[in-house]
Amino acid sequence: MFKQVIVKKPAISYVNGLTTSDLGTPNYEMALEQHEKYVQALAKCGVEVKVLLDNEEFADSTFVEDTAVLTPNFAVISNPGADSRNGEIKEMNRVIKEFYDDVRYIKAPGTLDGGDVLQIEDHFYIGISDRTNIEGANQLKQILESANYKATIVPLKKFFHLKTGISYLGNNQVVAAGEFIDHPDFEQYEKIIVSPEEEYCANCIRVNDYVIIPKGFEQTKKKIHDAGYQTIELNMSEFQKQDGGLSCLSLRF
Ligand code: CIR
């Protein structure tokens, strides 16, 4: 069960944030509206939502997931791999300390984005990407293993972040796309397979009794329903334009 979620309102500068997509510039008003609906969906899932104020200095800071990795007993403040985002951790460190007494840190030369970390029960998978390097991944692995979690490092081939291509629903089931469909590290999990046209839907979030999915991916939605889950669909168009998905917009704990 998740009880608490942290999100951050997009700033006007959001439209000038980092992206590799060619989907165009986000519409700020629409992004705000979509963000509000995201907050409402989380509330419907029964969590308390802490909404942080927007910060013009950090265009990508609405993607709070990248700044921390949270476990029931301790938090790890990440060290985001993009220079323009690294300063986001200063505020998040203060916020996280309101919730956690035990806070650890990923330190340079290690870099790590929370989007590269997927928790499946007591096993954490840590992607090596353009944002997370081997030093950062190893630091997190050591922190987790010292707390008796399992940790596996997964070098990524194509996906931006690990969780861009795989999500955990619970009950040993993952939603997987692209390189994760046949990946040996995930072979023990039952898979809901996402077709190449619906790849964006591989990033979805199970929050208590619901799976929140992006709107417009009918095949994957049906597969998730057929697996027995209730879904909430959200239009994510303005976040997809900046390489962001559903998981990126929150820290859930
Ligand atoms: C970035 O490039 O950092 C943002 N535009 C997107 C971050 C997405 N975050 C995530 O997948 N966890």
Kindly list the domain boundaries of the chain, sorted by start residue.
4-252
Query: Measured between alpha carbons, how far is 176 from 125 in angstroms, rounded to an integer?
Result: 14
Could you read off the pLDDT tens digit of each residue along the chain, which spans 253 residues? 999 999 999 999 999 999 999 999 999 999 999 999 999 999 999 999 999 999 999 999 999 999 999 999 999 999 999 999 999 999 999 999 999 999 999 999 999 999 999 999 999 999 999 999 999 999 999 999 999 999 999 999 999 999 999 999 999 999 999 999 999 999 999 999 999 999 999 999 999 999 999 999 999 999 999 999 999 999 999 999 999 999 999 999 9
Residue 248 known to be catalytic: yes
- CB contact burial 62-90 (16+ within 10 A = b; e otherwise): bbbbbbbbbbeebbbbbbbbeeebbebbe
Please answer whether residues 40 and 232 qualify as being in contact, where contact means their C-beta atoms are separated by less than 8 angstroms. Answer: no
What ligand 1 atom has the least distance to the C-alpha of 163?
11
**Which ranges in 78-206 belong to alpha helices (H)?**
83-86, 88-99, 134-146, 162-165
**Which residue's C-alpha comes closest to atom 7 of ligand 1?**
244
Closest CA to 133 of 64, 188, 82: 82
Q: Is the pTM of this model over 0.80?
A: yes
106: amino acid identity, one letter: I
- Give me the pLDDT at residue 166, please: 98
ipTM above 0.90, yes or no: yes
Fold of domain 4-252: L-arginine/glycine Amidinotransferase; Chain A (3.75.10)
pLDDT value for 15: 98
| Residue to mutate (ligand 1; options 23, 60, 65, 88; most atoms within 8 A of CB) | 60
CA 38 from centre of chain: 14
Residue 161 designated active-site? yes
